């Protein structure tokens, strides 16, 4: 049951924050993003009130932990105007999930942890414990993924991908799954797509942890993209790669070719042009590159005219 109690001025000492249910990995006043948020609030005011749940005279966060840290711990506000609800635990979980799943500044790891917590509580309420045993059953797992996807108006693949990245990425590597384009510019970060590819690779060869270690040691193999992982997957299915030693051999044999592709893609203007085309056509960057190669292969004579 959900009841909106209206906007209320809530004193700091009555609020339990940050919520233990918040998936974010860095909820402290020292976080530069929260410090930036505090500066914005100081200049422009609190544009979006946090959402709180009223319970026994106290309040807990449903949405807005970063804003509460900014106003209470950095700006020193004694109270805050909030939207307050009276809801049970199940509805509070659902509200948190809906409020946060689309946040662009959440990494797939954080988003997946939120989805998993929601699923665990749903399964426990429905008597499906121990959760791990039921989750291991494909039909039950698929049913929960479809139900949550429908509830969030998302595709089942979206839910499955984020859940998989949270559940299967080794703990020591979760911090390197990027949440923004800025982080992806740093060599150690990887995209959610690459994290998922490494999980698939690891499952194929018997150890996801070894797959991540192989990617990062001695340094990140940044030249591996969607196309390269596709080629590796094909080699695994054909029996050419059956273990990590053979994977490393395959990688070293193809490294010169993949390095050259990476070097060409980094030429000034190439990335910008491909990105612009991808945006205009509503497709991914990798789709543009793959399609360009296919088109070029069918127009070799015209291609020669543009070669240096």
Cα distance between residue 65 and residue 183, in whole Å: 23
Residue that wins the pLDDT comparison between 168 and 268: 168
CA 53 to mean position of chain CA atoms? 27
Q: What is the rounded CA–CA span in Å between residue 70 and residue 53?
A: 19
**Tokens 């233990």 belong to residue:** 20
Given a cut of 60, is residue 304 above it in pLDDT? yes
Answer with the one of 136, 168, 200 that is the final residue of a domain.
Answer: 168
Structural domain contains residue 29: yes
For 93, other C-beta atoms within 10 Å of its C-beta total 21
Question: Among 168, 184, 211, where does a domain finish?
Answer: 168
Give the C-alpha separation, 227 to 289, whole Å.
10
Total number of domains constituting the chain: 4
pLDDT at 279: 72
3-state secondary structure the chain: CEEEEEEEEEEHHHEECCCCCCCCCCCCCCCHHHHHHHHHHHHHCCCCCCEEEEECCEEEEEECHHHHHHHHHHCCCCEEEEEEEEECHHHHHHHHHHHHCCCCCCCHHHHHHHHHHHHHHHHHHCCCCCHHHHHCCHHHHHHHHHHHHHHHCCCHHHHHHHHHHHHHCCHHHHHHECCCHHHHCCCCCECHHHHHHHHHHHHHHCCHHHHHHHHHCCCCCCCCCHHHHHHHHHHHHCCCCCCHHHHHHHHHHHHHHHHHHHHHHCCCCHHHHHHHHHHHHCCCHHHHHHHHHHHHHCCHHHHHHHCC
pLDDT of residue 47 exceeding 70, the answer is yes
My answer on whether 13 and 53 are in the same domain is yes
Q: What's the pLDDT score for residue 55? A: 86
Domain residue limits at 57: 1-87
> Band of the pLDDT at 40, cuts 50, 70, 90?
very high
Per the domain annotation, does 35 fall within a domain? yes
Tell me the percentage of the chain whose pLDDT exceeds 70.
90
Pair 186, 209 in one domain:
yes
186 and 138 part of one domain: no
Q: How confident is the model at residue 260 (pLDDT cuts 50, 70, 90)?
A: low
Rg for the chain, CA atoms, rounded: 24
Same domain, 241 and 178: yes
What is the pLDDT, as a whole number, of residue 113? 87
Query: Of 233, 250, 265, which one is at a domain's C-terminal end?
Result: 265
The sign of the CA dihedral 25, 28, 31, 33 is positive
Provide the pLDDT confidence category of residue 158 given band limits of 50, 70 and 90: very high
In angstroms, the CA 196 to CA 193 distance is 5
Q: Does residue 52 sit in the same domain as residue 118?
A: no
Establish if 187 belongs to a structural domain. Answer: yes
User: Does the pLDDT value for residue 261 go beyond 70?
Assistant: no
Residues written for the chain: 308
Q: Is residue 59 part of a domain?
A: yes
Question: Tens of pLDDT along 197-212?
Answer: 999 999 999 999 999 9
Q: What CA–CA distance (Å, rounded) separates 67 from 49? A: 8
CATH at residue 46: 3.90.1530.10
Q: Express each pLDDT in 104-153 by its tens digit.
A: 667 889 889 889 988 998 899 999 999 999 999 999 999 999 999 998 88
Does residue 11 sit in the same domain as residue 82? yes
pLDDT tens digits for 225-236? 888 999 999 999
Residue 95 lies in a domain: no
Residues 159-167: what's their mean pLDDT? 95
What pLDDT, on the 0 to 100 scale, is given for residue 201? 96
Q: Is the pLDDT of residue 23 over 70?
A: no
Q: Is the dihedral of CA 249, 250, 255, 256 positive or negative?
A: positive
Q: Same structural domain for residues 286 and 238?
A: no
Higher per-residue confidence, 305 vs 293: 293
């Amino acid at each position: 049951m959900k009841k909106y109690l209206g906007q209320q001025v809530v004193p700091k000492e009555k609020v339990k924050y940050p919520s233990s249910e918040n998936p974010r990995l860095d909820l402290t006043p020292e976080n530069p993003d929260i410090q930036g948020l505090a500066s914005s609030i100081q200049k422009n005011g609190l544009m979006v009130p946090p959402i709180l749940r009223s319970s026994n005279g106290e309040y807990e966060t449903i949405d807005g932990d970063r804003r509460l840290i900014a106003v209470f711990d950095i700006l020193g506000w004694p109270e805050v105007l909030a939207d307050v609800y009276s809801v049970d635990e199940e509805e509070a979980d659902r509200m948190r999930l809906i409020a946060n799943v689309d946040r662009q500044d959440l990494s797939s790891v954080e988003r997946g942890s939120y989805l998993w917590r929601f699923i665990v509580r749903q399964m426990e309420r429905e008597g499906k414990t121990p959760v791990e045993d039921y989750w291991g059953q494909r039909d039950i797992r698929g049913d929960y993924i479809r139900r949550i996807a429908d509830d969030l108006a998302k595709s089942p693949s979206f839910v499955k991908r984020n859940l998989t990245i949270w559940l299967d990425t080794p703990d020591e590597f979760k911090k390197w799954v990027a949440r923004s384009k800025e982080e992806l510019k740093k060599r150690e970060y990887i995209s959610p797509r690459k994290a998922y590819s490494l999980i698939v690779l690891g499952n194929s060869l018997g150890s996801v942890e070894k797959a991540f270690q192989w990617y990062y040691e001695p340094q990140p193999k940044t030249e591996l993209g969607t196309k390269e992982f596709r080629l590796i997957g094909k080699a695994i299915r054909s029996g050419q790669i059956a273990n990590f030693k053979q994977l490393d051999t395959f990688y070293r044999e193809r490294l010169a070719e993949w390095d050259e592709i990476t070097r060409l893609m980094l030429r000034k203007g190439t990335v910008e042009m491909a990105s612009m085309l991808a945006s205009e056509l509503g497709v991914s960057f990798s789709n543009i590159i793959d399609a360009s190669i296919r088109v070029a292969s069918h127009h070799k004579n015209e291609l020669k005219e543009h070669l240096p």
